[in-house]
Amino acid sequence: MTARRNGFSLVTAIFLLVVVASLAAYMVTIGSTQQQTSVLSILGARTLAAAESGVEWGVADVVTDDACFSSPTSFTLSGGASSGYAITATCTQTSHTEGTTTFNVFQVSATASRGGVGSADYTQRTMRATITTAP
């Protein structure tokens, strides 16, 4: 009779070992997923900031010259957390007349990206701004 009880204890111990190992594997998977989500969130925020800096550069150029810059213009940011972000800025200009007043409307767009398409850390963001010389 004791042999049967010893066998039952072995089955229970193996079952508990499998359950505990499964829970540990699940917890490692959840931790890894949370870490990857945090990293992608930070990269997305940095990419958005890089796109915003591209739009700000384009707006400053348009306001200074009252004309579009050569489009598309590409450059790479350097220094600090923004290092390595590729920016492509475009500008389109249209003229409008209302009554006797003619004014220009500029559409500035900047796309920032980092990493290669298909890679795990690839991010891309686009921002647009409209500027007018209307009184």
Which of 71-77's residues contact partners 24+ apart within 8 Å by CB, and which partners? 77/50, 77/53
Report how many domains make up the chain: 1
- Per residue in 95-122, pLDDT (tens digit) is 988 888 888 999 999 999 998 888 878 8
84 φ/ψ angles, rounded to the nearest 5 degrees: 95, 0
Q: Give residue 57's pLDDT.
A: 92
Q: Give residue 108's pLDDT.
A: 95
- What is each CA distance from 7 to 4, 16, 20, 68, in whole angstroms? 5, 14, 20, 83
Domain range for 45: 2-132
Q: Give residue 2's pLDDT.
A: 52
pLDDT band at 4 (very low <50, low <70, confident <90, very high): low
Q: Helices (H), strands (E): how many in the chain?
A: 1, 4
Q: Is pLDDT above 70 for 55? A: yes
